[in-house]
A = this chain, B = another copy of it.
Amino acid sequence: MSTKPAPNEAPVAEFAGQLLFRLWRASHTRTADALSAVGLTPALFALLNVLGTRDGAIQQELSADMAIDPSAMVTLIDELEGAGLAERRRRPNDRRAWEVTITPKGRRALERSRRAAAEVEDEVLSGLTAAERNELLSLLRRALGSVPAPPPWRSEEED
């Protein structure tokens, strides 16, 4: 047994970025495959996931949340809306902005997607114990929380 009987399996000093990328890609391809059964892409699932907790936020806030370009957010919402999973409605005070809400259908799709994503996560992190997975997620969240955002779409921090 063992899937790595390779003789010259040198460590190959790797940096965090490379490890993150390879584990992400392993997760990404599997997630994309699993989500296709729900009719979603990883990007749409990520947005739906945000909408699950930030329901009613406007596009600007959503794009800042997900750290993507506002124009990319337009496309994502278009697709969600086209699939009947989310809806746009004008914000009462400011009719320039669109509040995005998740539909009941969208919430059902979200639940199914979450289960699918959880299964993939189980598989990808199968080498870690439950405690270690929590530790990993905790470390990732904390690292992310203290990373300043240099890109143009910085959130609305500051005055």
Q: A3-B148, A124-B143, A145-B4 are in contact. Are A16 and B27 (CB under 8 A)?
A: yes
Q: Which of A11, A15, A144 has the most CB of B within 10 A?
A: A15
- A31 CB contacts on chain B under 8 angstroms: 17
Q: Would you call A117 an interface residue if the criterion is a C-beta within 8 Å of the partner chain's C-beta atoms?
A: yes
Q: How far is the CA of A23 from the CA of B121 in the complex (A)?
A: 17
B67, B124, B141, B142: the one within 8 Å of A147 (CB): B124
Range for the number of chain A residues in contact with chain B: 35 or more
B12, B49, B151: the one within 8 Å of A18 (CB): B49
26 interchain pairs (CB within 8 A)?
Answer: A5-B157, A6-B155, A8-B54, A12-B65, A13-B52, A15-B117, A15-B118, A16-B125, A16-B137, A17-B24, A17-B27, A17-B28, A17-B121, A19-B140, A19-B141, A22-B144, A23-B140, A23-B147, A29-B150, A29-B151, A123-B147, A127-B142, A127-B143, A127-B147, A128-B139, A135-B139
Chain B min CB distance to A79 (Å): 18
Q: A4-B145, A146-B3 are in contact. Are A17 and B139 (CB under 8 A)?
A: no
Chain B min CB distance to A42 (Å): 7
Q: How far is the CA of A123 from the CA of B126 in the complex (A)?
A: 29
Contact check, A146 vs B117: say whether CB atoms are below 8 A apart.
Answer: no
Contact check, A10 vs B54: say whether CB atoms are below 8 A apart.
Answer: yes
Contact check, A21 vs B19: say whether CB atoms are below 8 A apart.
Answer: no
